[in-house]
Amino acid sequence: MPRTAPAPILLLCLAALAGCAQFPELDAALTEEGRLAPEPELVDNAPLLAAAAAGTVDESTQVALQSRAAALEGRASGLAGPVLLPEERAEIDAAHSRLRGLTPLVAPDS
């Protein structure tokens, strides 16, 4: 007769017991208004999915999206330059050189 593995059975039992756990903090967070509220109405999402699948964009939306894209591209090109001013970069390089002379523990140049 084959012997069953006790570990998987034990894990299954523990998972089943965890599903029966009570969460008083969660129950306390529910207001009386929430307890008395009606169940939410479930609606069919097929019309929403059909509209999304059709992917129709009217002309005014297309123009608005194109102008927004152009504005974002303009902002992106403005951000593409260097982050530091040349004087700031020179100051950092000078400090780096000073520190490299003080200790061999500073990371090597990459």
pLDDT tens by residue, 17-38:
877 878 888 888 888 998 899 9
pLDDT in tens, 38-56: 999 999 999 888 888 887 7
Predicted pLDDT of residue 68: 96
User: Structural domain boundaries of the chain?
Assistant: 7-105
Specify whether the CB–CB gap between 100 and 106 falls below 8 A: yes
Predicted pLDDT of residue 108: 60
Vertex 92, ends 110 and 95: CA angle to 5°?
90
pLDDT in tens, 57-106: 788 888 999 999 999 999 998 888 888 899 999 999 999 988 887 766 65
CA dist., res. 52 & res. 54, Å (int): 5
pTM of structure: 0.33
Specify whether the CB–CB gap between 63 and 71 falls below 8 A: no
